[in-house]
Amino acid sequence: MPHRADRGFPRAHLSPLPTPRVERESGTVPGVNRPPDRVYLVGFMGAGKTTVGRALAELLACDFFDTDATVEAAEGRSIEELFRTRGEGYFREKEWEALASTSLLRRVVVATGGGLFLAPMHKSFIRRHGTSVWLDAPVEKIWSRCHEAGGRPLFTTFEELVALLEARRPRYAEADLHIVEADRDPAAVAREIADKLGAAEESA
């Protein structure tokens, strides 16, 4: 079954998204009935939010939603191309529409774009609607991933990346949880997040 990120998102003049599929509840620790309805992975581009997010969604038996992928699917072009042809302001508007649509979803893990959590309006929305998890990663790992992917619109050199990351770190630190991805397997990172959420599915 395709992930919900593959289905796009509603605009204000369209009908609401269909009700997400019903999933079994994860095993829980005492005193916790189920995982948060929405878990938002935040952090710098290239930190592994999409990969870990998919692993976490599978672990918790819930849906997965990627804001960047949703925007790209709706616009028919990459984030880099949107920045180049329409500008950052246009992209941020579409990014907000994608984020806002998650309020209609239940039992979902959301991978957000690198700059999404920085805007006060976005941060406030996430705090109202779910739990935020800052997925951190070593700068060398981020650079390697971004370089392999063909670069990103906000930096072109390692020095620019370092400066941008350091400027953003204090705001990422406002997330509810902080997880260091390092060189671990995505499944192990997902398990740590689930444990800290108090909602890890019992081992088979």
The tens digit of pLDDT for each residue in 17-74 reads 333 333 333 333 333 345 688 999 999 988 999 999 999 999 999 999 999 999 999 9
For residue 68, what pLDDT is reported? 93
For residue 200, what pLDDT is reported? 38
Rg of the chain over all Cα atoms, to the nearest angstrom: 16
* Residues in CB range of 153: below 8 A, 6 or more apart: 79, 80, 83, 84, 88
Give pTM, 2 decimals.
0.77
**How confident is the model over 177-196, as a mean pLDDT?**
91
Least confident piece of the model among 24-38, 93-107, 183-197? 24-38
**More confident of the two residues 197 and 203:** 197
Which superfamily, per CATH, for 35-197? P-loop containing nucleotide triphosphate hydrolases (3.40.50.300)
pLDDT higher than threshold 60 for residue 11: no
Confidence tier at 7 by pLDDT (50, 70, 90): very low
Mean pLDDT of the chain: 80
For residue 141, what pLDDT is reported? 86
Using DSSP bridges, classify how beta strands 38-42 and 63-66 pair: parallel, antiparallel or unpaired.
Answer: unpaired
CB 179 within 8 A of CB 108: no
